[in-house]
């Protein structure tokens, strides 16, 4: 455990990617394969199962530390992280023997056997372990038993470190690691050694691949139209969208355009007579989608298709998406989330949320890896597979429709219709693009040869919706922002104020803690947001919050309304769980509206207007 604790400290202490890679290599060189397997599992996104509820964990920490609940709560608010708080308030350990136990023994001999044990058994074990670990060891232990282990290192960095440690190409390691962090199969020394094995023999990669194993997902980079965008620079940002696209991407004929769907990115793998459905997060989801298993069961062995898992509603009279011969539109993402959350998939669930797979890439056919082929050739082969399967089985493999445009203005016009069609925008894929690994942003511009074109996938999303909200509640952040108020609740007016004086009267009543008068002008909470501002802006808002705090409710402060923020969000839905009657999707702060007085903030009517313009695709929250 000590070496893993030291690695965690090293990774947490630096923002340098090279320093993180060096620390990872140093750790992998020092530990045995069993420990390395568990470390790679956690660092690449594997989630430990929660062994103890947070409330019980806090109660045990209060008991062991001897602190009253109010003082423990105050410490937690100051620190901002429960595991770190517990590690700091516990008394000094009687020994540090627990650090001498290896990470694999901690997991396999201590933590995993506690699964299914009662609360008292977990409490007894935890008390004993705290007495034999220092602060860093206790911190990690709480993260592991609480199910909240995270560290500031990306999966790509872990792959890079393993590749350098083993003398392999990072792409080979990425392919081998697919599914390594899946919680349904725990890591072993044998699996870790398979990551490091030399790839000298011809056909090694295919021979070593588990039949169920998917390929690393190729991710598109966001394409915007402002000066800070990764693709566009100041020189072209001032020109029109069409001119900017032409200048940086070249002729539209070099690109394939498709609709960007709002579902779950997935791969369907058919090998050895079996079907596996994987999410982009490397979660095996086959049992969640029996329809997709039935669809792919008739595919030839050695077939892997990349696409989007969607709830699809055919609906009477609903036209097909432009470019598609399939009737209907994608259903709300909320329905897909509800479907995933169901423990039992009965007939009603399957009927209410019928799942479909929108295929857009063929990665393997006849057990041959096709990822190095140009995008157009892979698309042609995918269309041929779909035609053959549809004719032979009667079960349709639906393809992501192509979006046609004679020039960039034409494609921009198609994109402008995305929200009304229930999609998120456009995907742009270079015709010569190979299927890469991860998200890679380098782009050489027009005239790029096929070696560079592997990086040319872009998502051209529709512009977000906007609303102006008033800050009314605040809560401190976590981690490095634990001492700064960064998590905010916003409100809108229930109707437009008749004047600035009427709005000010409401603010004054709030300051006097007077309850809102039914039917009168009031501020109605409608969303929370915690991202979008710079550190300097957060500090400025924090000062205002401390100056205008009205009341404290544990970690939350009510604030005298003085500030208006422009909020951006991706969608809006009817919600019976929110006082405002609506829920926003992915809200974030766009900017502080120092120029806007309180009485000009948005209203519930404006939210209702946005809701009315939103297609049924966004759906209701149930």
pLDDT tens for 83-124 read 889 999 999 888 878 788 899 999 999 998 888 888 889 899
Here the tokens at position 481 are 């922002």
| Other C-beta atoms lying within 10 Å of the C-beta of residue 121 | 12
| 590/531 Cα distance (integer angstroms) | 9
Most confident of 175-184, 444-453, 558-567: 558-567
Q: Is the dihedral of CA 199, 205, 210, 214 positive or negative?
A: positive
User: Average pLDDT over the chain, rounded to whole?
Assistant: 85
Q: Band the pLDDT of 347: cuts 50, 70, 90.
A: confident
Structurally, the chain folds into a number of domains equal to 2
Q: What is the pLDDT of residue 466?
A: 94
Please say if the pLDDT value at position 441 is more than 70: no
| Band of residue 440 on the pLDDT scale cut at 50, 70, 90 | low
Check pLDDT > 70 for residue 447.
Answer: no
**Domain with 529 in it: what CATH number?**
2.40.50.140
Is 485 in the same domain as 394? no
Higher pLDDT: 606 or 325? It is 606
- pLDDT over 70 for what percent of the chain? 90
Eight-class DSSP state of 357: E
Give residues with Cβ within 8 angstroms of 543, minimum separation 6.
none
Helices (H) and strands (E) in the chain, counts: 25, 22
Is pLDDT of 204 > 70?
A: no
Query: Residue 6 corresponds to which tokens in the numbers above?
Result: 């030291």
Where is the domain boundary, 405, 429, 461? 461
Q: Domain residues for 403? A: 255-461
More confident residue, 242 or 191: 191
Position 430 scores a pLDDT of 92
Residues 583 and 509 reside in one and the same domain: yes
The predicted pLDDT at position 226 comes to 42
Among 419, 622, 581, 556, residue whose Cα is nearest residue 492: 581
The token duo for 29 is: 């060189």
Last residue of a domain, one of 419, 440, 461: 461
Residues 531 and 448 in one domain: no
Question: Are residues 427 and 544 both part of a single domain?
Answer: no
- Provide φ and ψ at 157, rounded to 5°: -65, -40
Residues 391, 354: one domain?
yes
Asked if residue 175 belongs to a domain, the reply is no
What are the φ and ψ backbone dihedral angles of 263, each rounded to 5 degrees?
-135, -145
pLDDT at 442: 53
Please indicate, yes or no, whether residues 538 and 414 belong to a single structural domain of this protein.
Answer: no
Q: Is residue 206 part of a domain?
A: no
Spell out the residues 6+ positions from residue 506 whose beta carbon is closer than 8 angstroms to its own: 497, 521, 522, 523
Per-residue pLDDT, 227: 34
From 461, 494, 528, the end of a domain falls on 461
Residues 457 and 469 in one domain: no
- The stretch 53-63 carries a mean pLDDT of 90
Q: Answer yes or no: do 302 and 440 share one domain.
A: yes
pLDDT mean over 364-393:
93
The tally of CA atoms less than 13 A away on the side-chain side of residue 112 is 13
For residue 178, give the 3-state DSSP assignment.
Answer: coil
Q: What confidence tier does 273 reach under pLDDT thresholds 50, 70, 90? A: very high
Partners of 267 in the beta sheet? 278, 306
In this model, does residue 506 exceed pLDDT 90?
A: yes
Residue 247 in domain: no
Q: What is the pTM of this model?
A: 0.71
Share of the chain above pLDDT 90, in %: 45
Q: What is the pLDDT of residue 462?
A: 87
Report yes or no on 563 lying in a domain.
yes
DSSP string, 28-48: HHHS-HHHHHHHHHHHTT--P
414 plus 454 within the same structural domain: yes
Confidence of residue 235 (pLDDT cuts 50, 70, 90): very low
Q: Specify whether 475 is located in the same domain as 395.
A: no
């Amino acid at each position: 455990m000590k070496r893993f604790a030291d690695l965690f400290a090293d990774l947490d202490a630096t923002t340098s990617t090279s320093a993180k890679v060096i620390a990872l290599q140093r750790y992998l060189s020092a530990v045995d394969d069993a420990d390395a397997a568990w470390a790679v599992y956690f660092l690449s996104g594997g989630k430990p199962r929660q062994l103890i509820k947070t409330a019980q964990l806090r109660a045990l920490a209060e008991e062991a530390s001897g602190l009253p609940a109010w003082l423990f709560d105050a410490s937690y608010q100051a620190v901002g992280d429960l595991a770190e708080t517990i590690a700091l308030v516990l008394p000094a350990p009687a020994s540090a023997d627990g650090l001498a136990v290896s990470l694999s023994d901690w997991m396999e001999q201590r933590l995993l056997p506690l699964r299914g044990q009662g609360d008292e058994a977990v409490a007894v074990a935890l008390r004993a372990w705290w007495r034999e670990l220092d602060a860093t060891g206790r911190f990690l232990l709480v993260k592991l038993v609480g199910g909240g282990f995270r560290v500031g290192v990306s999966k790509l960095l872990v792959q890079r470190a393993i590749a350098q440690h083993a003398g392999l190409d990072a792409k080979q390691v990425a392919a081998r690691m697919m599914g390594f962090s899946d919680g349904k199969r725990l890591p072993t020394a044998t699996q870790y050694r398979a990551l490091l094995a030399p790839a000298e023999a011809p056909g090694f990669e295919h021979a070593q691949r588990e039949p169920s194993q998917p390929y690393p997902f190729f991710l598109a980079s966001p394409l915007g139209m402002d000066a800070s965008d990764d693709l566009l620079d100041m020189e072209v940002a001032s020109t029109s969208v069409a001119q900017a696209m032409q200048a940086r991407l070249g002729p539209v004929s070099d690109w394939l355009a498709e609709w960007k769907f709002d579902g779950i990115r997935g791969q369907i793998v058919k090998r050895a007579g079996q079907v596996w459905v994987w999410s982009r997060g490397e979660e095996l989801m086959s049992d969640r989608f029996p329809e997709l298993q039935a669809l792919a069961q008739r595919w030839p062995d050695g077939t892997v298709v990349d696409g989007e898992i969607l709830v699809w509603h055919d609906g009477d009279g609903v036209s097909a998406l432009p470019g598609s011969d399939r009737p209907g539109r994608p259903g709300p993402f909320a329905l897909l989330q509800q479907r995933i959350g169901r423990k039992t998939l009965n007939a009603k669930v399957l009927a209410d949320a019928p799942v479909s797979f929108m295929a857009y890439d063929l990665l393997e056919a006849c057990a041959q890896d096709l990822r190095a082929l140009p995008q157009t050739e892979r698309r042609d082969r995918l269309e041929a597979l779909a035609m053959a399967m549809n004719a032979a089985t009667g079960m349709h493999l639906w393809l992501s429709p192509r979006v046609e445009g004679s020039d960039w203005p034409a494609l921009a016009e198609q994109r402008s219709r995305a929200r009304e069609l229930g999609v998120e925008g456009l995907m742009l894929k270079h015709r010569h693009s190979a299927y890469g690994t991860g998200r890679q942003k380098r782009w050489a511009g027009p005239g790029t040869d096929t070696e560079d074109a592997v990086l040319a996938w872009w998502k051209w999303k529709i512009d977000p919706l906007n609303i102006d909200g008033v800050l009314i509640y605040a809560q401190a952040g976590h981690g490095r922002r634990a001492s700064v108020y960064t998590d905010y609740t916003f409100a809108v007016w229930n109707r437009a104020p008749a004047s600035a004086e009427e709005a000010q009267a409401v603010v004054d009543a709030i300051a006097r803690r007077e309850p809102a008068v039914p039917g009168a002008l009031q501020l109605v909470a409608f969303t929370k947001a915690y991202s979008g501002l710079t550190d300097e802006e957060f500090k400025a808002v924090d000062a205002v919050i401390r100056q205008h705090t009205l009341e404290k409710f544990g970690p939350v402060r009510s604030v005298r309304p003085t500030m208006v923020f422009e909020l951006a969000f991706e969608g809006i839905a009817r919600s019976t769980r929110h006082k405002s009657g609506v829920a926003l999707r992915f809200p974030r702060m766009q900017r502080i509206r120092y120029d806007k007085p309180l009485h000009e903030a948005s209203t519930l009517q404006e939210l209702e207007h946005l809701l009315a313009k939103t297609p049924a695709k966004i759906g209701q929250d149930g």
